[in-house]
Structure 1
């Protein structure tokens, strides 16, 4: 069997020979291809983890002579999504010349700034700390990966011995050391001292593998990971039950989800005491196996081993001391109990900082947990946005896999606390944090938009997402909903079918929002319909429908959302999309206008009631939004045209001409008004009405 046909059980073999032919001899393109397929498998490396490189011969623009250039993933990149713009291209000769100015471990950090003097490609991404680790290895293509199976061996007490025996001397061992220039020199020496090896295991960290071509490097990486993975599988449960066996019984899946949805807003509020966070919940089988085990109490406090893991997850998780079937109906008592647990964690983290800080360490960061484990239920993670919280969750699952493997073959060894602190509060890491782009205004907010699959609702959801919010949209039309949700990625938007007249539907939709994003911050009541008829032609059924959808719907959604907002204890916004018709009396509009007026006054009543909870309630009144607006489809447009004695085609111009500004109103205009209320500049405004109508004097509020 040729290697290209080899079946891999523990990793995905994704190399396409036709794609390789298409890329030809473009080594950088092959590097990107290899990187992307490696990064697509979380068993090989997680988001942002690891690094890849290749070396090519290029023409020096000054000497016009050939020179060797290394192309490597730049700082902060992700190999799974790596593009050419994410690479750094550096002169190999100059990188090796840095050895002449290296002054030793005490001066490690100063070397990073010198990487910039080695740049060949002026469009390079900032070179990463891994740059010399690849530069000093004499191979054309190199992978530095963080596969769970390899780290399990690297993070075990007998890791060096196991590596030697398992790979029969073909993988060298370099003990743990913080990434930098000095360990790059050690890697170089390991290759010199062990000619013919196929890779290096970094203690507690990860794996280096290589090849003369992109394909050979890829196959080498997969084969080493496969061998390590199979070794772990062969040893699971061999000497003792996995994680010491099960101690806690999980609830059934639907019960786990119910419990998680009830507690998540409280957890989110507590985790957001320093800054608002977005959440992720998972009850993945790997998580349940760990959190329900006898070894949880032993292993969870040890923290993670691989630097990539704890930089994303914090040094250790918070484990909730609450039975899985705990009665969560008494919110006040639950919140008090959880506050005690959070305070203990915050005190632990501050003590960890104080015990290990250096005179020049950055100030202590947010002391709240990132990872929260609830035995029998699942895992919660909290971070500045959905992607970061999701990735933190994925990284902790990686850490679980590492602990499981290490315990199966030896004994798990966590990174010493001082080493962990020195990386977490590394001045280079702090500099990287300071270089992060400014957050968008709504980057830590979660918006729930009813009627969000089209027209005004979709425009509002799109604007909030563009400003950084996670958006969860609801609608009663499945086709429209599916099309609308497809415009977002998994971290920015989601949605579900929901009828605003059904409290069961509303509660289910909000539960889905909580399980997806952790809670709710902005509620936009936009679901609606319009019926334009004189009173003698308005049926009782039509009257009830308008009242149910517009008035009862706004009431029911707001009531259910307020319970979540109060549980979070972080305030929030309710924005009700009413209409100019709530203020202006027009012909043939008794049912719709009355319902809209009720929406407006309900908003004022709620603003007065919810102000002490810092929950703001405001109204946006559109008028004549014909472009993209669903209510103008069908009979409503015909009814309004008939009321004014004009044709449907004349409506946009008619409505524009009757305004003071002679403007046509778009769905984007309404979205801008919603953002004006929730974007942060009007955080002390509630009970207001913002007309977006081009100026209709009869609708002036005062």
Structure 2
């Protein structure tokens, strides 16, 4: 069999169109399928296949490789061996025996819904409007009122083989129906062609939207009881609170944070009903698997003193953990997976917005997006009726489902710096750029800080964009710009764990030609600048209570006395001693402070490109383009030091193997005997 079947092209086009609009389904939520006939490459006979989005994919970005490919004759034959709802989880393993060829992606739990429904094309989606109907207390009656006999109601059932049988039976009994509302869950639609299926999906979604807009109460969340802070004040308060909240949310395991202050969130947390509704939790399985069954809700006004807010957040966090453990103990059986962690994934703060947390930035961001979906669902349900999500026991069955546990076990092992947030000064070129690249490659989120905004943006884009890196423009001699840079990092990722003091410059002059301005400039950037950056970092790290790393890119010139270099060498010696002083002071907070002493890094260096290289070449009587070679020949190893060698030393210090090392300076100079540490 060669080429892509037309059914697959149609399916992908439909998936992309539906998945591109968040009104239709959430990120990675829902699935779509198509059935068709191909020639079996082994027998030469016709084989009826189904292509369906596999486990973990996203409709909006779905590719052919993300489809599971199954033989329909074998899939339908599973009906005859189905052992019943109490053992339906066994059917997921049976899907592997229905795969065609290599089978493509792993089949999801919803495979039966698509394969057993008698329609060529099937969509299963999680639109906010559809889930609002699905979670309304009188959802069945609303479905009939809104759609007549064009859409049927399916009472809540956990996703699985039995749900596929239920939908298949309801479709057979209602030939006029274009789809169903799944109680507590979402919608499913079908069609004989891909275009018809897409049109039916959109008819259900848009009809529900229009009905809610026309018939819903104008203030389903009640009256405004908390004022929303102005944007600048709101973001400043969020930045002040996030390190503490991230530390609390990382009690069981480190987490990355995300801040959301969209209009939907700000309106929700300003209203009188938001504590009641938040306590009910989310309903759609896709939602609460990422947001947990309920958020932590701060119960203080936006203008409460920060000290009071911090104390209350600590109290609420302790209560949340007790309540979550009690929830687990109420429903756990001897076969249940162990408790995965009792910290909240969502924290709501009136007047400020929402903090969401996850194992990486994307997971944290998506958790927040899912809670926005949940807010929209609550609004729609409360506008028409009252919000009535699935009960707690059902949520537990899904949250601690063995199939979900198996999915977690299939995830790749986290990279060494996963969950860590790094800020690198001078990150737009040379050693800083190489360090940012290495830290991101090892799993860190990176704040690329540089005076050159374009260079910082270029590196942040190179690292992968806002789920991995953000760029900030900062002159390290400015306390205000440093504060703004750290605030941006906190708002982007929840905090800061690893800081690399790399920003620097050099002016090579003999003593008698070195001006006070030369001296001040070099000390302002390197000695004072690294002090200011370290001070700002230490403030955040101590608030988080998660430890941290501060790394100084010093120089062999901190211990090596070379000619025509008094201001630069003295500034680097200052940095070197800051390492020792801060290591002694910050150790009680679990913050390690170490330094790296490179030899001259010529290639890719902003310092050398800015004229320093020509001056040093003149001092040593060599051609500028041969300066790196000259430096290499004076070392014991006869090797040139490159930016990536320094970046490797940063990773060695922070990657997890040197957990008991602080106050250390590592030479990365290929062996300069005169710079040996004594």
Cα distance in 2 between the residues matched to 1:668 and 1:73? 40
1:471 aligns with 2:446: yes
1:64 aligns with 2:44: yes
1:516 aligns with 2:496: no
Question: If the length of structure 2 is used for normalisation, what is the TM-score?
Answer: 0.98
Match of 1:418 in 2: 393
**Maintained 8 Å contact 1:88/1:121:** no
**Maintained 8 Å contact 2:453/2:471:** no
Distance change (3 Å), C-alpha of 1:611 and 1:334: farther
Cα distance in 1 between the residues matched to 2:6 and 2:598? 56
Match of 2:624 in 1: 648
Distance change (3 Å), C-alpha of 1:93 and 1:266: same
Match of 2:584 in 1: 608
Deviation, 1:307, is: 0.8
Cα distance in 1 between the residues matched to 2:422 and 2:139? 47
**Maintained 8 Å contact 2:149/2:176:** no
Cα distance in 2 between the residues matched to 1:83 and 1:578? 47
Deviation, 1:213, is: 2.5
Cα distance in 2 between the residues matched to 1:454 and 1:232? 53
Task: Structure 1: give runs of 5+ residues left out of the alignment.
Answer: 1-22
Question: If the length of structure 1 is used for normalisation, what is the TM-score?
Answer: 0.94
Match of 1:638 in 2: 614
Equivalent residue in structure 1 for 2:566, among 590, 602, 615: 590
Match of 2:676 in 1: 700
Deviation, 1:661, is: 0.8
Deviation, 1:245, is: 2.0
Match of 1:28 in 2: 8
Match of 2:330 in 1: 355
**Maintained 8 Å contact 1:279/1:383:** yes
Q: What secondary structure does 2:597 align onto?
A: strand
Q: How does 1:127-276 map to 2 (within 5 A)?
A: 127-238=107-218, 241-276=219-254
**Maintained 8 Å contact 1:85/1:123:** no
Q: 1:32-66: per-residue Cα shift (whole Å, max 9, x none)?
A: 22212322222211111101111121122332211
1:321 aligns with 2:299: yes
1:485 aligns with 2:460: yes
1:668 aligns with 2:644: yes
1:277 aligns with 2:252: no
Match of 1:443 in 2: 418
1:391 aligns with 2:391: no
Task: Structure 2: give runs of 5+ residues left out of the alignment.
Answer: none
Equivalent residue in structure 2 for 1:629, among 605, 611, 616: 605
Deviation, 1:336, is: 3.8
**Maintained 8 Å contact 2:135/2:387:** yes
Deviation, 1:335, is: 4.2
Q: 1:508-557: per-residue Cα shift (whole Å, max 9, x none)?
A: 11111111110000001111111111111212111110000001000000
Cα distance in 1 between the residues matched to 2:35 and 2:637? 63
What is the aligned residue count?
675
Q: How does 1:290-305 map to 2 (within 5 A)?
A: 290-305=268-283
Cα distance in 2 between the residues matched to 1:649 and 1:483? 26
Deviation, 1:334, is: 5.1
**Maintained 8 Å contact 1:386/1:517:** yes
Deviation, 1:242, is: 2.7
RMSD: 1.3
Distance change (3 Å), C-alpha of 1:35 and 1:91: same
Q: What secondary structure does 2:447 align onto?
A: strand
Select between 138-147 and 565-574 the one with higher mean Cα deviation: 138-147
Match of 2:376 in 1: 401
Match of 2:506 in 1: 530
Deviation, 1:160, is: 1.2
1:84 aligns with 2:64: yes
Q: What secondary structure does 1:670 align onto?
A: helix
